[in-house]
Chains A and B, each alone.
Chain A
Amino acid sequence: MQKTIRLLLALGLAALCAASLSAQSKRLNFYGWSEYIPQAVLDGFTKETGIRVNYETFSSGEEMLAKLLSGRARYDVIQPNDYIAEALIKAGQLQALDTSKLTNLGNILPEFTGMPHDVENAFTVPYMVGTVGIVVNTEKVTEPVTGYADLFSGKYAGRIVVLDDGRELATAALYTLGKDLNDFSPANLEAVRPILAAWFKQIKLFDSDSPKTALIGGDVDLGLVWGGEAAILWDQDKKFQYVLPKEGAHLFVDLLAIPKRARNVENAHLFINYLLRPDVSKLISDSFPYTNPNGAARKLLTEAQLANPASYPKTEMKLDTFRHLGGDTGARIDKLITDLKNAN
């Protein structure tokens, strides 16, 4: 009798352990941008694999970087943008991907591989790519707007929305001076100060989260916005035209990566491979019409999606990406923007 009880107890314990183990192995902690992945995609992954996704969001790459560097957060898959990934790689915070597990990796178009943030493609996989450009409500603005000089000519004062992102704005000003987009030397920062000061007087509002809202609502007629936002606008109404500023434009790449301290590495690879699948990647493009770096997924997109000039801008320009700046450059840019916003 006692033997049986002991046996039962042992069995029960073993079952408990197995249950908790499998619970652990059926989980994935995903840390991504807010408003960047359809719930249907996360649900689809859970349905296929039985792995439950804990989805946490951030709204700036810096916010995510700080949380990861603090070393207490444990995520399995993160979604850094290019220069943040570069910083994470430099800090040794990412683990090398096991490409044998990423069977769909070949879907990525060659032009989105070997980029400066991860030349060897060892740590990151592109998720979505985009540009920052000018969107114009052509019903209200009849003259052509082709670059920053037109946008901030003074004619449209009080009718402009821009991203509330100091680095993006300072980069735009660097372009007008013909400087390199990553050269934030103190001299260059001083040089962009008067340019930005003149621009800020004409800006009606700063919004990185949803700059399209003010354009749809008719509160502003022009904007310096994310390409994906402009693509949604164009999709709703063709009066919203998107152009890459002729003075210069850049590409931003949002990536998928696995932090060094990830617990469920196997699931992380499964998840990344799932997101690389053409049918899944297409779903993401349907909701968030940025530039899809997945060649096989692009084949599934409609003619209209591919013709959207904000998603797939046609340009001869060389589109570079942001690099990690390091040191206190970020803080110096923030100080400059704070100074200028509060100058009046």
Chain B
Amino acid sequence: MQALPGANPENPHARLPRVWGWILIAPMVVWLALFVLAPLGILFVYSLGTTGELGMVEFGLNWGNYARAFDPIYLKILARSIGYAALTTALCLIIGYPVGWFIARQRPVVRNRLLLLVMIPFWTSFLIRTYAWIAILKSEGLLNATLLAAKVIPQPLELLYTPFAVMIGLVYAYLPFMILPVYGSAEKLDNALVEAAHDLGAGPLRAFGEVIIPLTWPGIAAGMLLVFVPAIGMFAITDLMGGARVSMIGNVIHNQFTKALNYPFGAALGIIFTLLFVLTYALLQWRGRKRA
């Protein structure tokens, strides 16, 4: 039996991968430091400031903005945002999982075409697509006109500027972010494992619950994170499709910078928000480990 040449510590090339590794990830590290860590630091400094007479930020060491974030009204808005985001994630999972799975089971040619279809909406600006939904859902819009003409409904349905419209907007916007990671996991899944489960007597439900779900869990977890995290901070859809009647935490933060002239409070909310994301991520990682 011929042994493969092992790594020889005296070989100068052995140390190279380490150096090369660092060089290769350097742009990423610089990117993270410049565009993630530095802004977070700035945000934190702002969050400790106060607002001056003309709305200028006066820097200091004031934890009041964090205390204010725990005012019941903001907790209520935060809870509602989490609720909306969770519902969005659940709906995206229910709708997106079968789609991702289906695409992954197709012949490569068909698969690529279907993937393209999922990604085509990204070619148009997100805001334009949201305005398209407004044109569809409004009182004299496409949907109501069609239903009225078909005599399905006697008078226009009130769809736009309701929580229902917000949910449509959110699920529509984030569905591809669930489909793509699920597809990624499902595509790698070895069909032999599913067949083995069936051979060993597992019904479709049991095979799904005990084989398919655990094996595609990385995709599910990534999809949940990709949907939940941005959905919770979304403010454009609630403004445009919800009529700005009900605020989400994203709207509150947006207002601090554009209307209330209160950068420090907006910054404090931003920091709390970021911590929340880290927590969500940690929770999902922990669940993932438990499953593994």
A binds B: yes
Chain A residues within CB distance 8 Å of chain B: 59-60, 62-63, 65-66, 69-70, 87, 90-91, 158, 161, 164-166, 203-207, 213-214, 217-219, 326-328, 330-331, 333-335, 338-339, 341-342
Pairs across A and B, CB under 8 Å, 16 listed:
A59-B258, A87-B54, A158-B158, A205-B244, A207-B243, A214-B243, A217-B141, A218-B140, A330-B262, A331-B260, A335-B260, A339-B73, A341-B244, A341-B245, A342-B80, A342-B247
Q: How many of chain B's residues have a CB under 8 angstroms from any CB in A? A: 36
Q: Contacts A164-B244, A206-B244; is A66 near B73 (CB within 8 Å)?
A: no
Cβ contact within 8 Å between B245 and A66: no
A331 adjacent to B261 (CB under 8 Å): yes
Question: How far is the CB of B55 from the nearest CB of chain A, in Å?
Answer: 6
For residue B158, which residues in chain A have a CB less than 8 angstroms away from its CB? 158
B245–A69 touching, CB < 8 Å? no
Given A205-B243, A207-B243, A219-B160, decide whether A66 and B138 contact each other with a Cβ distance below 8 A: no
Q: Are A219 and B260 in contact (CB under 8 A)?
A: no
> B-side binding surface: helix, strand, loop or mixed?
loop
What is the 8 Å Cβ interface bit string for chain B, positions 10-40, against chain A (1 contact, 0 not)? Answer: 0000000000000000000000000000000
Interface string of B81-101 (1 = CB under 8 A from A): 000000000000000000000
Closest to B53 in A: A326
Q: Are B73 and A330 in contact (CB under 8 A)?
A: no
Query: B262 touching A334 by the CB < 8 A rule?
Result: yes
Q: Mark B252-292, 1 if CB is under 8 A from A, else 0.
A: 10011111111101000000000000000000000000000
B244–A217 CB distance below 8 A? no
Task: Tell whether A341 pairs with B261 under 8 Å between CB atoms, given A66-B55, A69-B56, A219-B161.
Answer: no
Which residue from A87, A207, A213 sits with its C-beta under 8 Å from B244? A207
Nearest neighbor of A213 in chain B, beta-carbon distance: B134
Q: Are B140 and A217 in contact (CB under 8 A)?
A: yes
B51 within 8 A of A: yes
A213 to B160, CA, bound (A): 12
CB of B55 within 8 A of CB of A338, answer: no
A242 CB, min distance to chain B CBs, angstroms: 22
**Complex-state Cα separation, A342 to B265, whole angstroms:** 18
CA distance A62 to B266 in the complex (A): 14
Cα of A218 to Cα of B139 in the assembled complex, Å: 6
